[in-house]
Amino acid sequence: MKKHTLTLIALLVVLSVKAQIIDVHLHSYTDTDYWGGRTHPTGIDSPKNAEEHLARTIALMDKHQIEYAVVSGSMESVEKYVLADARFIPGYMDSEELLPIDTFEQLIKEGKIKVFGEVAGVYFGRTLNDPIYAPYLKICEQYGIPVAYHTGGGPPMTPYGCCPNFRIALGDPYLIEDVLVTYPKLQVYLMHGGEVYFEHAVRMLSMYRHLYVDLGVLLWVDPMLNDYAVRLLKLAQKAKTLDRIMFGTDQMVWPESISTSIEFINSLDFLSEKEKRMILYENARTFLKLPK
């Protein structure tokens, strides 16, 4: 009996340890900026409004035992999500106009911005190295606020739609090397792992030992991006930098992509269980300095 109880406890420990996940790349919306309601080409359904999006995102976090999730969007949407669930870590996603610098600093002091990002400058024709970001980066370095930076491309036809100044080439991680040199204590993670520039992302990881990446979109959007993810992870394995690769979904308006992304990581045979756990959980815990 005692033996059976111990076995059961051991099993529960293994299961609970295995299930822990941190997602460093989710997005929040209000009804004003929500653009969902359309099924993704992969067949993933989209909630019809922002409220349903929030509810489904939370339900999936429960289902997959996601312990924390960095969520970014407008400050209004982020506040709404954080209020609904304390597991959300608030990130400020910039738009063409940035928040006034005093407001930015004040929101950091109030704990309302804990991550600067997704920094989406590429959509407006600029990189993180653009002088517009300099005062923000200085503050982030000073307060220990991590910067989450969009790298790689974007959805099809982007320059003809929202963002005439968008260029794929601006998403090359090499373009922000100066930022890492100028702000040596700044914590940065490259969102989407460089995407088409995944080799550059891994090379940056091997040069800058405090740099991290996340895998948002590479895990679920389409087979080309899945291929980047596989090649990135294999290269990072060779470069011994898997300890700085973090799980992120970038669910946008398709919350169920969280499940697809977790399944994709778990399906990769060339990763050991230990490596999967590092990617799904431990690396983010270290990077975000989360309490034990």
**For Zn ion, the closer CB: 23 or 250:** 250
Hey, which residues does 92 pair with through a beta bridge? Answer: 73, 116
**Smallest distance from Zn ion to CB 135, Å:** 23
Tell me: cis bond preceding 118? Omega within 30 of 0 counts. Answer: yes
Q: How far is 267 from 264, CA to CA, in rounded Å? A: 5
8 A C-beta contact, residue 22 and residue 280: yes
Q: Residue 23 interacts with Zn ion (CB under 5 A)?
A: no
Q: Residue 94 interacts with Zn ion (CB under 5 A)?
A: no
8 A C-beta contact, residue 192 and residue 232: no
**For Zn ion, the closer CB: 56 or 105:** 56
**For Zn ion, the closer CB: 24 or 271:** 24
8 A C-beta contact, residue 195 and residue 225: yes
Phi-psi region of 117 (alpha: psi -120 to 50; beta: other; left: phi over 0): left
**For Zn ion, the closer CB: 221 or 271:** 221
Q: Which stretch binds Zn ion (CB under 5 A): 164-172, 202-210, 246-254, 266-274?
A: 246-254
> DSSP assignment, residue 196?
G
Q: Which stretch binds Zn ion (CB under 5 A): 32-40, 95-103, 169-177, 244-252?
A: 244-252
8 A C-beta contact, residue 153 and residue 211: no
**Smallest distance from Zn ion to CB 232, Å:** 17
**Smallest distance from Zn ion to CB 272, Å:** 28
**For Zn ion, the closer CB: 47 or 152:** 152
Q: Residue 250 interacts with Zn ion (CB under 5 A)?
A: yes
Q: Which stretch binds Zn ion (CB under 5 A): 53-61, 155-163, 245-253, 267-275?
A: 245-253
**Smallest distance from Zn ion to CB 27, Å:** 6
What backbone torsions phi and psi does residue 73 show, to the nearest 5 degrees? 175, -160
The letter for the amino acid at 115 is V
Q: Site residues for Zn ion, window 213-232 (CB under 5 A)? A: none
8 A C-beta contact, residue 76 and residue 92: no
CA-CA-CA-CA torsion sign (183, 172, 274, 91) = positive
Residues in contact with Zn ion, shown as a per-residue x/- string from 98 to 137 under the rule CB under 5 A: --------------------x-------------------
**For Zn ion, the closer CB: 23 or 118:** 118
Residues that bind Zn ion (CB under 5 A): 118, 250
